[in-house]
Amino acid sequence: MKFYDCITAPSPRLVRIFIAEKDLEIQTQYVDLRNGEHLTPEFSKINPFCTVPVLETDDGTRLTSTQGCWRYLEEKFPEPPLLGTTASAKATIADLVWRIETDGFQAVGEGLRNLSPGLKDRALTGARNFSQIPQLGERGKERARTFLNQLDGMIGDKEFLTGDQFTAADIIMLVVVDFARWIKVTLPSKAPNADRWYQSVSSRRSTRL
């Protein structure tokens, strides 16, 4: 297998943590997003969507989404389980991941890509340029702030988002919290459950890579 990564980008970090939790050694090639390596003809042959992560499997299949990478790795290396083992657990984790990605990850991305001077004309990922819309950026920040304000209640008295097991839901939530700092959005000042959870998951070896 081969993993195309970028150490500074949030999307490949989702897969990098997953790989580390599985304790896997996978050949890694770093893609220089800052200097536009993902937009070159060479990389577009690897992934025509011009994004990372990309996971190239042993049979040559190239998976270009976080969900595709996660699913392949979970099926290939089921221990420790990160996407659930029972029908109920799998559905609950999938439900949470969808909600976190939609209301959290995408909101932060909307804010960053429409407000950051360094992403001028790069308001959306992919090969085609799109102009920034500052109003969307401000909306993204507000969406992200609203979402992070809900985390304390989502955690409650549980150790992790779904109970006593660390799962993919915790991975994407952690990445969203860290990603949100890029647009100066943080956890609320009085969120003891969220703070406890964040200190716990951010201290894992996998999340510090």
The per-residue pLDDT for range 158-184, each reduced to its tens digit, is 999 999 999 999 999 999 999 999 999
DSSP secondary structure code for residue 113 in this structure = H
3: three-class secondary structure by DSSP:
strand
**pLDDT given at position 93:** 98
Between β-strands 54-56 and 62-63, what pairing exists: parallel, antiparallel or unpaired? Answer: antiparallel
Domain 87-208: top CATH class: mainly alpha
- Amino acid identity at 206: S
Tens-place pLDDT, residues 63-96: 999 999 999 999 999 999 999 999 999 999 999 9
How far apart CA 178 and CA 55 sit, in angstroms, is 23
pLDDT at residue number 1 = 97
pTM: 0.97
Which of 144, 198, 150, 193 minimizes the C-alpha distance to 171? 198
Using alpha carbons, list the distances in angstroms from residue 62 to 27, 56, 116, 166, 196.
14, 4, 30, 27, 37
Report the pLDDT value the prediction gives residue 155, as an integer from 0 to 100.
98
CATH architecture of the domain with range 2-76: 3-Layer(aba) Sandwich (3.40)
pLDDT digits (tens, 9 = 90+) for 6-47: 999 999 999 999 999 999 999 999 999 999 999 999 999 999
Q: Is 200 helix (H, G, I), strand (E, B) or coil?
A: helix
What is the rounded CA–CA span in Å between residue 136 and residue 140?
6
pLDDT single digits (tens) 117-161 = 999 999 999 999 999 999 999 999 999 999 999 999 999 999 999
Please report, for the chain, the start and end positions of each structural domain, with discontinuous segments joined by +. Answer: 2-76, 87-208
